[in-house]
Amino acid sequence: MIDIFSEVSAFCDLTIPSAHKVPIAIIGAGGIVDGAQLPAYEKAGLEVVGITDVDLAKAADVADRHGIRKVYQSIDELLADPVPVVVDIAVPAAAQPEIFLKVANAGRNILAQKPMATTVEDGLRMAEAVAHNGIVAGVNHQLRFEEGMAAAHKMVDLGWIGTVTNMTFHVNLITPWEMWPWAKDLERLEIMLHSIHYHDVMRWFLGDPKTVFCAAGRTKDQFPNGETRTISTYVYENGVTGLVHANHINRGGDNYAEYRIDGDKGSIRGTMGLLYDYPVGRVDTLEVNSSVVPTDGWTPYPVTTRWFPDAFIGTMGSVMAAIATGSPVRSSVVETVGTLKLVAALYESMDSGSAVKL
Ligand SMILES: NC(=O)c1ccc[n+]([C@@H]2O[C@H](COP(=O)([O-])OP(=O)(O)OC[C@H]3O[C@@H](n4cnc5c(N)ncnc54)[C@H](O)[C@@H]3O)[C@@H](O)[C@H]2O)c1
């Protein structure tokens, strides 16, 4: 059985070949850069040549702690640096489209944070800028590279569970929203910032649904203003169904984050360890029960890396591979405009109380 996992684990390999490596310049010195992106780049042996932020003291502090030599005083100064780089943008989504367009129009290749924008219109403008300037641009939907999720995707591709009939996410957490003060007043919160990862992955596995329905709620005395609990259902043309349930005010103390994919020849189930104790986390798990390959009941796949920070190597590695070889970016700006369209449909459903056709 271990041998048949080799094709799956090869697909999950995050190694970036030396020939693909180009330096990185970063816009935004916030928590995700400090806590996940820079540790991932260090692990992958990538060079970060400089960083900038509207808060220059913050950029200097992050640069100091991560051994980054240059703090650019502005985005213009970063773009004037002739060193060929991937520009890594990691600022709140409301600020990102304007910065993205400036960087794209300077002809630089980009990895942008998720959500890439808060509206489909901005996402389309960003995709147009990618095409117009002939650049490579990815979005940091790094759950597509988390080892358990990527392994599950490969198992589905290999036909191990036959034809997929259903995919579900069940997530019940106590999320420290205080970590993101800029998110406190956002009207659109849970799906836009968190469950977008699951909705993006559902699209990666199954494509765009025909119809979605979404219900959402808040909990008394919660810190942020926006929705902290959502239940989204999907129906596909071929009768395949999907469900994403996420609650961030779990007073029960039993955090869990599970997913499951059912097919007509087996099932896959996994957990996202990061969310059991964010941002420390624990090991991810993945199991497969298949009548196509020789499993005897639920068989564990040995997940050896984590969503944070390892999967962040994947999104950057995919952009670098595309620059070096012309391969497709796994979560490109152009393709993941579809994720923004799905998110918009879910909010439309939440507001109207009706199912929405995509
Ligand atoms: N799993 C993930 O991929 C993941 C996890 C957390 C956050 N994020 C996303 O990353 C982005 C940043 O989140 P964070 O947690 O680092 O937030 P943060 O508040 O810790 O940091 C944001 C940083 O952006 C800077 N900034 C704001 N506007 C700017 C501008 N116009 N120019 C330059 N810098 C600017 C701020 O000064 C701050 O340092 C958000 O879009 C968030 O949704 C993604």
Q: Where are the domains of the chain?
A: 13-141+313-330, 143-307+340-357
CB 140 near ligand 1, within 6 Å: yes
pLDDT at 305 over 90: yes
pLDDT at 195 over 80: yes
**Cα–Cα distances in Å, from 39 out to 47, 101, 313?**
11, 27, 9
Over the stretch 281-292, which tens digit does the pLDDT of each residue have? 899 999 999 999
The amino acid sitting at 269 is R
CATH of the domain spanning 143-307+340-357: 3.30.360.10
Over the stretch 236-272, which tens digit does the pLDDT of each residue have? 999 999 999 999 999 999 999 999 999 999 999 999 9
Q: pTM, whole model, 2 decimals? A: 0.97
pLDDT at 104: 98
- Could you tell me which of 163, 178, 143, 82 has the C-alpha nearest to residue 274? 143
Confidence of residue 2 (pLDDT cuts 50, 70, 90): confident
Over the stretch 136-174, which tens digit does the pLDDT of each residue have? 999 999 999 999 999 999 999 999 999 999 999 999 999
What is the share, in percent, of the chain residues with pLDDT greater than 70?
Answer: 100
pLDDT at 278 over 90: no
Residues 6+ away with beta carbon under 8 Å from 130: 104, 136, 137, 332, 333, 334
CA 30–ligand 1 middle distance (angstroms): 5
Residue nearest to atom 17 of ligand 1 (CA): 30
CB contact at 8 A, 236 and 213: no
CB 54 near ligand 1, within 6 Å: yes
pLDDT at 29: 98
Between CA 56 and CA 74 the distance in angstroms is: 9
pLDDT at 84: 84
Count of helices and strands (H, E) across the chain: 11, 15
Residue nearest to atom 42 of ligand 1 (CA): 92
CA 59 to ligand 1: nearest atom: 39
Instruction: Return mean pLDDT, the chain.
Output: 97
| Residues facing residue 236 across a β-bridge | none
CA 91 to ligand 1: nearest atom: 24
Over the stretch 31-51, which tens digit does the pLDDT of each residue have? 999 999 999 999 999 999 999
Which fold, 13-141+313-330?
Rossmann fold (3.40.50)
Most ligand 1 atoms within 8 A of CB, residue of 26, 27, 32 to mutate = 32
CA 90–ligand 1 middle distance (angstroms): 5
pLDDT at 1 over 80: no
What is the share, in percent, of the chain residues with pLDDT greater than 90?
Answer: 96
Over the stretch 196-233, which tens digit does the pLDDT of each residue have? 999 999 999 999 999 999 999 999 989 999 999 999 99
Over the stretch 104-147, which tens digit does the pLDDT of each residue have? 999 999 999 999 999 999 999 999 999 999 999 999 999 999 99
- Give, in degrees to the nearest 5, the angle at Cα 337 between 131 and 120: 105
Q: In what order do the strands lie in the sheet with 356-357?
A: 299-300, 285-290, 266-271, 256-263, 164-172, 241-247, 229-235, 211-217, 356-357
pLDDT at 280: 85
Between CA 283 and CA 307 the distance in angstroms is: 9
CA 27–ligand 1 middle distance (angstroms): 9
CA 93 to ligand 1: nearest atom: 41
CB 156 near ligand 1, within 6 Å: no
The amino acid sitting at 239 is G
For residue 249, give the DSSP letter: B
Residue nearest to atom 5 of ligand 1 (CA): 32
Confidence of residue 279 (pLDDT cuts 50, 70, 90): confident
CA 197 to ligand 1: nearest atom: 1
pLDDT at 133: 98
- Could you tell me which of 309, 321, 281, 345 has the C-alpha nearest to residue 86? 321
CB 142 near ligand 1, within 6 Å: yes
In terms of C-beta density within 10 A (0-12 exposed, 13-18 middle, 19 or more buried), how is residue 145 classed?
buried
* Torsional sign, CA 156, 1, 314, 232: positive
CB 94 near ligand 1, within 6 Å: no
